[in-house]
Structure 1
Amino acid sequence: MSGWILPPSVFSEGSVTIDFQALLARSPNPYVLLDSDLRIVWMNDAYLQVTMRTRDKLLGQNMFDAFPSDPDSESHRQLEASFRRVFASGKQDEIALIRYDIPTPDGGMDVRYWSATHTPFADEARKVAYILQHTVDVTELQTLRAMRDEMGLIQRANAVQARNLDLAEEAGQFKSLFEQAPGFVAILHGPDHEFRMANAAYHKLVGGRDLLGKRVKDALPEVSGQRFLNLLDQVNRSGKPFIGRRLKVLLQNDEGTEVQERYLDFVYQPTVGEGGTVSGVFVQGHDVTDQVESEERQALLMNELNHRVKNTLAIVQGLAMQSFRQMPGSEVPRQTFNARLAALAAAHNLLTTSNWKTAGFIETVRSAAEASIGEDLARVHLDGRDFTIAPQTAVSLSMIIHELCTNAVKYGALSVPEGHIDLSWTIEDEQEDYRLIDLRWEERGGPPVQQPASRGFGSRLIEHGFSTERASGVVIDFRPTGLLCTIKAKLTNASIVS
């Protein structure tokens, strides 16, 4: 059988339309697709199940790296020889029985016997570019061979064989994996980057222009003055892939029209031909223009919101100064009020940089403390894992840290040069939908402290904590050696920073 050239991905006849990509992916039979370097480029769920692997652990791996075996073993030589025959002849090759053990998740090896069929897929130049491996796990058949007459194992094997879809028919529809891909895909050949294949998404990106058989610089002349041709040359020379993130490209969809800005996520992957030399570049990516423009608009709105909030805080501060000025002995309350406004503004600035989505716990603590005690921040020792918290939690935490810092400066460890503060936190319980945080503020080296006769706003704010969930709570211990404040907080939307 000659090497198959990938056919159309979707077959339609009358009112019947079949997506063969989805059909192959859902097949109960294991399939894996290898490129000319025996790298794994696709597999279906049945293959993942039978090999006890995950997709991210296999994609891009060489077959013999993903499933290592002794190069001198019979199974290794048998499999390698089958691949060589396919590449050399361009014809399908079969291995009736091969022992090839599979690593188990616990680190052991599972003895397995297989029957394998290797089907070639050729590119436009009739060179084998991919091999589709169809494997059948016959371990049970091999193990129970002595019992096959009693158990009717041969009949069972025949029944399984009858249920299998015809491999040639399935392979004939395999091109759907490329043509119907949601991202743009193109195959370029040679040092001049001649288009050999481009899917519908790629044609849509470039305005439906005629591409096949043309060089990139001829088919897309507007990109010649941009960096993309240089990147293609670099991949062709080095044999190393290039990954682009949100790169701007100017494209002219129709002749005579103005160029348009587009933003692309893409990869240039070198393809290797006979002799191990780079024969071309495989292009795959997504148009992320809408996402980039949406984020730019959001950033503009957030900056405008931040500007207006700062103006509002400035107005509030001005009103407070006018109001306090008329009250005898208002200097200390005015300073306290201004300091709390500054802490609130620091929390707001921190959240604005993250578009009010989440804030880092450590950065929130550090920002609030620095706004309150300035250079004395060096006397506060932080110890704990970082994680993200919701905006409202960040604001509450900032105000609590501000009050603790202010009290430490007035009455506690920061009121004397030798004093310091240990601020530590641990994650007592880590579940999928919440984290239970245990925070400990401990002052050392300061003057003896006593419980105040009355509770002010700051004390009530600290005692409220930064979570309203059950299992949250605050304990303030006015020990003679220094204040100890412990806060337990159940955070339903905290996320650990790796």
Structure 2
Amino acid sequence: MGKSGHTGDDAAFLRDGGATGALLAKFAWASTSLGPLSGWPQYLKTATAIVLRSPTPMALLWGEEGVMIYNDAYAEIAGSRHPDLLGSKVGEAWPEVIEFNEQVLRTVLAGATLKYRDQPLKLRRSGVLETLWFDLDYSPVPDEAGRPAGVLAVVVEATQRVLAERRDAANAERQRKMLEQAPGFICLLSGPDHVFEFRNDAHKRLFGERDEIARSHAEVFADLPDPGFIELLDRVYATGKRHVARARPVNLRDRPDGPLEQHLLDFVLQPVSNELGKVSGIFVEGFDVTEQARAQAAAEESGQRLSAAVAIARLGIISWDRKTREATLDERTREIFGFGPDSIVTIDDVILRIAPKDLTRIGIGTTPDWSESPRQEREFRIHLPDGVVRDIVSVSVLSPGPNGPNTRAVGLFRDVTETRAAEQRQRMLINELNHRVKNSLATVQSIAAQTLRSAHDVLSARVALEARLVALAAAHDILTAESWHGARLIDVIAAAMGPFETVQRPQISRSGPPVWLAAQPALALSLALHELATNAVKYGALSTPEGRVTIGWNLEGDMLTITWREDGGPPVRAPVRSGFGSRLLQRSLARDLHGEVVVAFAPEGVVCEIRCRPSALQAARGFMDA
């Protein structure tokens, strides 16, 4: 850029023009078509003074060549090209957009104005060609006769805003696609009339294709006789309080002229607020749980039949670990064998009460143990400490593993001393019972025995037993899919938490690296998580909408740590006695995982930490096959 010796009077109009104004005062304008500053017309000086004092990026494109004069704000937009742009022709200054600028000069010098919003331009302002966006306003600058002598350009860069808007639009589109593909039905209603803004694919499959956009819920589903639902929507909109429904009966049609069919739905009506904090709509999310409810009813009926059969037959149930010899006896078994209600009993204590002659006859031998056969039916006598002799019929079952029998066993006992005449009928009953449950009797009866032992009444025992059976069934489904070779930890957690996430899905979160579990640890962990979640629903974080449960796991070296953490629930107190859940966590789970389990009853929420080595989990396969 050239220099000249302009007098102070010549450059007076450039005062207060910032750093760029100072550069203009030193520039050799005589080398341009504008000539020296002393010869500039007043209208050019006035226009230049206005541009220099403006905080908005502005430039003058003077004459047909578009000689550039601009301010400090425009200099920032010019980047590394400043100050070389001063006094240059606009076509030479920005050759990459020469056609655009030539069109601007022709149009505006002809007396017109131009306005562009979010105009993309490919510029090299820092040596690299990049796409930038601008808001551009062009207007003519008149001379003394009112003819356009130059162009005033107001240039505001909009690149960051445009990119931000595009990111927001892309994020919104991704979220919309996620909602479209969500497994549960979802819709968004706006305003007090509950006008549809969005319905996902699951909603359309369940409620049928309808012409719903910009129409109210009452209009779209006028053919469904459920005015109570509109009242629910009105109440949520008016109060701003969410509504949660479980297994609510709803009559649906897959098309307006189709037959009515009753479904059971779990759903949440969540009020949506605007920027002023006022309710502006309702977000609806839910699941069709009709089949689940039917399955639960069938499970309840099956459980009632099983409980009735056990009670009517007055059977005793025992389960034991073939490695540790620890046994769990129900009340009837303790009564039959003469053990006190609180005494600690092993399977050896039970076997030692069998008459010595019968021990040899039934094949147990001098070293107390059961046969390796997966199922055994025996008849023997037992001698009680008070001298009483009883005749017993027993059935024992070993649970199958991937490569052989399991280490867990279950036995059923019946005292037939006074009912020998009905021996044939009793055997038929036992055979029928075992025929129905032969594939899973070992595990089911182990859970039943411990549940009945710790329950306060028949009702609570039934509810607990059914829930544990459902949890066990979910774990079995996962293992069956893997041919009982094991399961992924994330799948085990998802199956165990599924029944507790139907309505309050955001309350439970989990994260951690991939981990593979053998079959027995997977079953044990599934039951333990079910017990933790059940206690959280009854007493802990899941008993209130504000509560949260976080399940996290990580691998550090050869140590796997799984942490169950509750917060946001009611204050926690340690239990006064050890129930099924405590025994399951602190005995069975630690044993099955070859690790340790620590449960802390902190006031702010229960924390359960499970530590074991992944190598031990893999080794559990061999343990199961032993």
Scaled by the length of structure 2, what TM-score is found? 0.29
Rg larger in structure: 2
